[in-house]
Structure 1
Amino acid sequence: FVSNELLYRSFEVFGPIERANVVVDDRGKSTGEGIIEFAKKSSANVCLRFCSEKCFFLTASLRPCVVEPFEVNEDDDGLPDKSLNKKSPEFNHERSVGPRFAEIGSFEHEYGTRWKQLHELFKTKQEALKRELKMEEEKLEAQMEYARYEHETELLRQELRKRESDNERKKMEWEMREKQAEEMRKRDEENMRRQQTEMQTRMLRQEEDMRRRQQENTLFMQAQQLNSLLDQQEGFGGNNNGGNNFDNFGRASNNSPFEFRDPISALLGGNAGGGNSGNGTGNGPNNPQVRSFFDLFLR
């Protein structure tokens, strides 16, 4: 039930006042606080000193005024008298007694002092709560910094694990590539060795074929020469009437400067003997070397 006008008249005792307003909420009801703007700073200091040392009441309520420095809010119109319900019994009861200072030791002073002590307790608890809130804020800020550090550290750990995983994967890929390259190199070497072995085998086979063909050609030429010599020998035997006279001629002419050699024996490296050529036991066609030569040629 304190209005702007009551607030103005009550604090006017300390000095000239520029403005006195009661703080109201959104619904227009008083919040229990007010703002007094003094014309001089000295008047405000006197008000602060007196209201702090004594109990200053505005109405019949034993709840004294608690004065604190405060900046003026230009947009606050306060609570005028016309906004109060003057027909209310409580209004008449509260306004029945005007502003006054309580006598020391009186009933009003005692309960006013208790109200001030309650306000001081509220302020103390409020300050303690503020300090506790401040400590909680600092604690929360420290926890937040620690949590941020842990979060950043975890991110770095994850990045490090990711890089290690990438490096391990790349290492495995490189090892796989090296293994594949080594396998390819070994396979190429094996193919090259196999090709070289096959080429050497083909070359050896070709050399063997060439030697065999050379041997066959040599044997064929020797067989042709032998056939030719045999044909020549048979021709000589027919012209000399069976060959006995020819042998006798050979044997009769041992002292002759002309010596006759068997062409087959000359080819095979045998000795020319008149008796051996005539009796068929020398180097003739029945000789084992000649037979083996013919068998080899036929094979």
Structure 2
Amino acid sequence: MADGSPAGRRIGTADGSPPGTAGGPESEQVTGFWRGLGLPGLVDVHTHFMPERVMVKVWAYFDSVGPLTGRSWPITYRTEERQRVETLRGFGVRRFTSMLYPHKPAMAAWLNSWSADFASRTPDCLHTATFFPEPDAVDYVTRAVEGGARVFKAHLQVGGYHPGDELLDGVWGLLAEAGVPVVAHCGSAPVPGRHTGPGPIAGVLARHPCLRLIVAHMGMPEYGDFMDLADRHPGVLLDTTMAFTAFSEALSPFPREHLPRLADLGDRILFGTDFPNIPHPYLEALRGLESLGLGDDWLRAVCHDNAARLFGLPPGD
């Protein structure tokens, strides 16, 4: 898949203007990246939009995460919701998601109601939903799928639950049968959880081999283990969220001996960023991908074509 294009060829250096300024240098550089590849835009499968009071708590967590990671985690795009949407549009992001997740019971159905409304008023957002191990999970996940949910989010670290919990077996089966992808934070970064790592989610895939599982953050820091999982299960994909950026490379570097495997899996890797909760400009996510030197074909697939195929997007808007 690689064609030997030089890293850093398209992307300039930000000049200190506020990140995401409409029509500003960063916006111009991001759009210049995908135009240089001949793409109609980007598809970002890992962006966060949540009810305001939930987002404020998420930001407070990142404000305090320094002692856990050894590095501060500034929120680069800490703006109001409408401005965040317009920032993504200014970058030329054709489709994005509203990754949201519960940390306790009796929360997921409410989040799903909010996200359904958000998707209805934000047509370029892929309708996103979530779940938690609780007795009514199958019921509200069924309603979300019937209501048009295109992708689900499972956060094993924040939720603190085992993905093999019997209360979720019907949920995984329903989603596998419906062919609706699930973005799962199942790797152990930035700090390990009780049920993170490849083992617990591998058990789910053993029971539901048709599940379309998107491993968030490339499975960081267990990169190789999660690529092994993708090798064994054709329905497993990985998203690039936070991986390959200078921030993450300092904490959990991607093993360069796995670059050939990254190239081989090029049709199952999806672009993601964690916007707005990222400690760097959006541009850095693209710069990190290009620096791998895997070529234009690989970049086109990762930044747009794989997700466009997965979600059945039209050739251009």
- By percentage of residues, which structure has more helix? 1
TM-score range, shorter chain: under 0.3
TM-score, normalised with respect to structure 1: 0.19
Task: Give the greater-gyration-radius structure (CA).
Answer: 1
